[in-house]
Amino acid sequence: MAKIIALRDTPHQAVEALLPWYVGGTLDADDRAAVEAHLQACPDCQAALNLERRLCLEVAALPSDGRPDWSRLQRRMAGRAVRRRASGAFAGMAGAWRAAPSWLGWALAAQAALLAVFGALALPVSSPAYHALSAPPAPLVGNIIVIFRPETRERDLRAALLTNHARLVDGPTASDAYVLNTPAAERAAILTRLRARADVVLAEPINAGATP
């Protein structure tokens, strides 16, 4: 880092320091007037001004590459929108959880244990048979959040997913909810069926498919 030097010791130095912005036309009126007054009487600064103009043109003309990639930014925006919606849905779920009957509390540990078995069974289902090297598969996007009763057995949980063509995307969340991916066209019907099940405490849509 170069040391700070005093550039205002003399009017000549002060004006000389302003020449880059005089050339660029970005000085305010007072500065510009001071520079122009000094230039009238200073041959050195007149010569410096000519060189300054040339330097400005040459530096500004230096090449600068880099092409815009709007699609890359769009992907980031889409990912963020999904996360934001999911986060909002979880916040809503937290309210539902607070209103849930107290018997749910004791069963958190039991359901976590259930998840270990359930997750092991669900993961292979969510993996595609092969990957094209140049086109990684699109990640599953959750569009339903569901909470099962804590005493729900693993095979009932699995059956609830299989019969509704649902895939596990995430969970259990802090609210002990699971995020499911279901066929968009069937989501409403699937929600109805899930809510009708005795082992389901709550089933709500996440609007991840909507365009922000």
The residues of the shown chain that bind other proteins, judged by CB under 8 A, are 1-2, 4-5, 7, 17-18, 20-21, 24-28, 44, 47-48, 51-52, 54-56, 58-62, 64-73, 76-77, 80, 212
- CB-wise, 45 or 161, nearer to other proteins? 45
53-64 burial, b if ≥16 CB within 10 A, otherwise e? eeeeeeeeeeee
As measured in angstroms, the least distance from the Cβ of 75 to other proteins is 10
Amino acid at 1: M
CA distance 124 to 142: 17
- CB-wise, 76 or 98, nearer to other proteins? 76
- CB-wise, 83 or 131, nearer to other proteins? 83
As measured in angstroms, the least distance from the Cβ of 164 to other proteins is 32
CB 202 within 8 A of CB 194: no
As measured in angstroms, the least distance from the Cβ of 56 to other proteins is 5
CA distance 116 to 145: 18
Structure token pair of residue 187 = 């989501």
CA distance 39 to 121: 82
- CB-wise, 66 or 128, nearer to other proteins? 66
